[in-house]
Amino acid sequence: MSRAVWQGWIGAAALMLGGISAVGHARAQASNVTPTPTGETTPTVNKSAPPEERPDPMKRRLSDRERIQQQKYLKNELKPDGTFKKWLEQDVVWIISDEEISAFKSLKNDEERENFIENFWLRRNPNPDSPDNEFREQHYARIAYANEHFAAGKPGWKTDRGHIYIAYGKPDSIDSHPSGGSYDRPMEEGGGTTSTFPFETWHYRYLEGIGDNIDLEFVDTCQCNDYHLTIDRSEKDALKYVAGAGQTLYEQTGQASRADRMNGGLEQLGKGPMSSSQQSKQFDRISLFAKILAAPPIKFKDMEQYITSSQILKGPPFLFDVRTDYVKVTNDTVLVPVTLQIQNKDITFQTKDSVSTGTVNILGQVSNINHRIVQTFEDTVNVQVPSEFLAKTQANKNMYWKALPLRPGMYKVDIVIKDVNNPEHIGTWRRSVNVPKYDDDRLSASSLILASSMARVPSKEIGAGSFVIGNTKVIPSVSANPALPVIFKKNSSLNFWMQVYNLGIDEKSKQNNAEIQYQVTDLATNKFVLDTTESTAKTNPNADQVTLEKSLPLGSLQPGKYSLAIKINDGVSKQQISQTAPFVVE
């Protein structure tokens, strides 16, 4: 079922909550025109005489008919109604956005279309720095699987099961009833026993950007293996319109009649012990199907094009720096703080009433390996400076922080910023991030964050607000490149923050026993300027997780390059880990 049909249907359902009917839709597959080569007969040659020189048939001048046929072939192959149409309406039909479709159809020549397709896959590459595009390879493997397993008088990719499989991958479990037959309704469907058409329920434990425990039901009402996705669970009931058959529990006891099923509503399940609770869940089901088939709305639509189409910047690039970190929340969720750093000198200010104001719009988007948008964040940052001090504050830096809860795995992060007072001043940033998995039985740690500022927050602000991790406000120092060390002034302090997870607990004493070693090395001399150790058995003996927060005054260090190393030796689990971070003292 196509995205457009579903969105229109869902919109109508949201307004009316009326009965529904299945809607079938398929995009026609393009027919490629294949040229037929012209045959040539080779003349007999007298071997005793020199062979007659003849023109190469592959290089000869084409006849008018052949030339017209060749032009027609090229026209059909290279215009959107040939190969490109097949790519648009078959290869990527379930993963391309409406905005991308409009952009593709507006292209004027084949070179632009080829560049679009190249950028289309590049934008979806979970690792843009790699020559291999894992997403593209997985996508075509899914199409092949769908064609092999879901064909129903039409290619498998055209079916609803093929659509969902291509878009979301293999479900975590499938409840399959290939022959239909006797079916005991669960109480939330009215109870009682009926007979069903063939149907399947696909269960996804989690779909990022959509939710937990997603159930999608497919019904084969024609019994021809063409299972269609349905929002009405009563569609599988083969006895729904048979008087006196397949009654719900309330219909069996006279507390409801079959006519009650037809009184309108999203589903025609009939009344039962738990039917009253279904009414409140109807909008939840509409919302679920809307999320399944649509991307989240974007507020800064003018900036979205720089994410969806890799549009070339018209003006000078708006420079900014980005840092990403990883902090464990649960076994299945990791907090990924994203820190942006923008300098005043790169912002356009407008002065009014002796106050200079700069405004920056920020749009961020996180996509998983299947190119499903799992997080979107949008914000506006205002920077105000008294006009007489504007020139003196050009070197000042402005920080923006967004904490993204993500599951372990590979993601692509796109960030676009716009200088509102200079609309063509746009900055873009794109990276792949590999969110780590923190296993229960493995000693591990968060990112080691070198911070320009670090302080405890009041109890009412714990876990809330920008730059707040737990009970500490940590403002990371951000370098222009992740490979470059961060810079600290000699009159400041080196603040660092890190969490250690899964410390071993002794079964007898119920305590941990790990040694944590802190080492600061002068990289010019390769000598330690700090080497100290502490024991968790003394600082936090009963915890399997500890937070390391330290501040080191830098006044005694000479300007130069240094490295901070934190080593953890767990005496209970006999595991060791370490984290290092370079920094510069000026």
Strand blocks (E) in 240-299: none
State the pLDDT at residue 548. Answer: 94
Same structural domain, 269 and 318: no
State the pLDDT at residue 519. Answer: 96
19 by Cβ neighbours in 10 Å (0-12 / 13-18 / 19+) ranks as middle
DSSP H helical segments within 268-331, as ranges?
276-280, 282-293, 301-308
383 by Cβ neighbours in 10 Å (0-12 / 13-18 / 19+) ranks as middle
Same structural domain, 458 and 558: yes
Whether residue 550 lies inside any domain: the answer is yes
The listed range with the strongest mean pLDDT (77-91, 124-138, 538-552) is 538-552
| Alpha-carbon torsion, ordered 328, 329, 333, 335, to 10 deg | -70
Q: Residue 149 pairs with which residues in a beta bridge?
A: none
If you average pLDDT over residues 448-470, what whole number do you get? 85
- 339 or 100, higher pLDDT: 339
The alpha carbon dihedral of 386, 387, 393, 394 has a sign of: positive
Distance, CA of 103 to CA of 119 (rounded, Å): 12
Q: Is the pLDDT of residue 127 over 80?
A: no
The listed range with the strongest mean pLDDT (49-53, 114-118, 492-496) is 492-496
438, 470, 488 - which closes a domain = 438
- 125 or 559, higher pLDDT: 559
Task: Tell me the pLDDT tens digit for each residue of 556-575.
Answer: 999 999 999 999 999 999 99
State the pLDDT at residue 240. Answer: 81
Task: Tell me the pLDDT tens digit for each residue of 357-394.
Answer: 999 999 999 988 877 888 888 888 999 999 999 999 99
- 481 or 271, higher pLDDT: 481
438, 454, 475 - which closes a domain = 438
If you average pLDDT over residues 59-86, what whole number do you get? 56
State the pLDDT at residue 550. Answer: 94
Cβ-contact 30, 81 below 8 angstroms: yes
State the pLDDT at residue 8. Answer: 53
- Tokens 């900055």 found at: 427
Q: Is the pLDDT of residue 537 over 80?
A: yes
Cβ-contact 285, 20 below 8 angstroms: no
Categorize the per-residue pLDDT at 528 as very low, low, confident or very high, splitting at 50, 70 and 90: very high
Q: Is the pLDDT of residue 454 over 60?
A: yes
**What's the mean per-residue pLDDT of the chain?**
80
Cβ-contact 562, 520 below 8 angstroms: yes
- 529 or 60, higher pLDDT: 529
What's the whole-model pTM score? 0.57
State the pLDDT at residue 446. Answer: 95
Whether residue 223 lies inside any domain: the answer is yes
If you average pLDDT over residues 222-248, what whole number do you get? 85
Whether residue 122 lies inside any domain: the answer is no
Same structural domain, 428 and 474: no
Taking alpha carbons only, the member of 453, 471, 473, 454 closest to residue 462 is 471
If you average pLDDT over residues 48-65, what whole number do you get? 49
Task: Tell me the pLDDT tens digit for each residue of 131-170.
Answer: 677 788 888 889 988 998 898 888 899 999 999 999 888 8
Q: How many CB atoms lie within 10 A of CB 388?
A: 9
Same structural domain, 359 and 268: no
Cβ-contact 251, 192 below 8 angstroms: yes
At 511, the amino acid letter reads Q
For 362, list phi and psi in degrees, rounded to 5. -125, 130
If you average pLDDT over residues 399-420, what whole number do you get? 91
Same structural domain, 315 and 197: no
Whether residue 25 lies inside any domain: the answer is no
Same structural domain, 191 and 320: no
Task: Tell me the pLDDT tens digit for each residue of 341-353.
Answer: 999 999 999 999 9
User: What percent of the chain is predicted at pLDDT more than 70?
Assistant: 78
Whether residue 453 lies inside any domain: the answer is yes
- 300 or 544, higher pLDDT: 544
Angstrom CA distances, 345 to 57, 314, 351, stand at: 67, 20, 15
**Which helix (H) or strand (E) element contains residue 165?**
helix 160-168
Distance, CA of 422 to CA of 403 (rounded, Å): 28
Task: Tell me the pLDDT tens digit for each residue of 264-283.
Answer: 566 777 676 666 555 556 66
CATH number of the domain to which 393 belongs: 2.60.40.10
Whether residue 120 lies inside any domain: the answer is no
Strand blocks (E) in 220-277: 228-230
Q: Is 578 helix (H, G, I), strand (E, B) or coil?
A: strand
Whether residue 315 lies inside any domain: the answer is yes
If you average pLDDT over residues 18-42, what whole number do you get? 37
Q: Is the pLDDT of residue 7 over 70?
A: no
CATH number of the domain to which 473 belongs: 2.60.40.3880
State the pLDDT at residue 298. Answer: 53
Q: Is the pLDDT of residue 58 over 50?
A: no
> Among 77-81, 312-316, 517-521, 558-562, which is the least confidently predicted range?
77-81
DSSP H helical segments within 37-133, as ranges?
64-78, 83-86, 98-105, 110-124
- Pair type for strands 321-324 and 327-328: unpaired
Cβ-contact 498, 472 below 8 angstroms: no
Same structural domain, 446 and 424: no
Which residues constitute the domain of residue 417? Answer: 299-438
State the pLDDT at residue 287. Answer: 78
State the pLDDT at residue 502. Answer: 92
Angstrom CA distances, 465 to 272, 333, 386, 400, 457, stand at: 46, 19, 26, 12, 10
Cβ-contact 171, 203 below 8 angstroms: yes
User: What percent of the chain is predicted at pLDDT more than 90?
Assistant: 39
Domains in the chain, number: 3
**Which helix (H) or strand (E) element contains residue 9?**
helix 3-16
Q: Is the pLDDT of residue 18 over 50?
A: no
If you average pLDDT over residues 35-45, what whole number do you get? 38
259, 293, 327 - which closes a domain = 293
Same structural domain, 580 and 460: yes
Same structural domain, 375 and 358: yes
Same structural domain, 309 and 356: yes
Same structural domain, 277 and 380: no
Whether residue 323 lies inside any domain: the answer is yes
Same structural domain, 563 and 488: yes
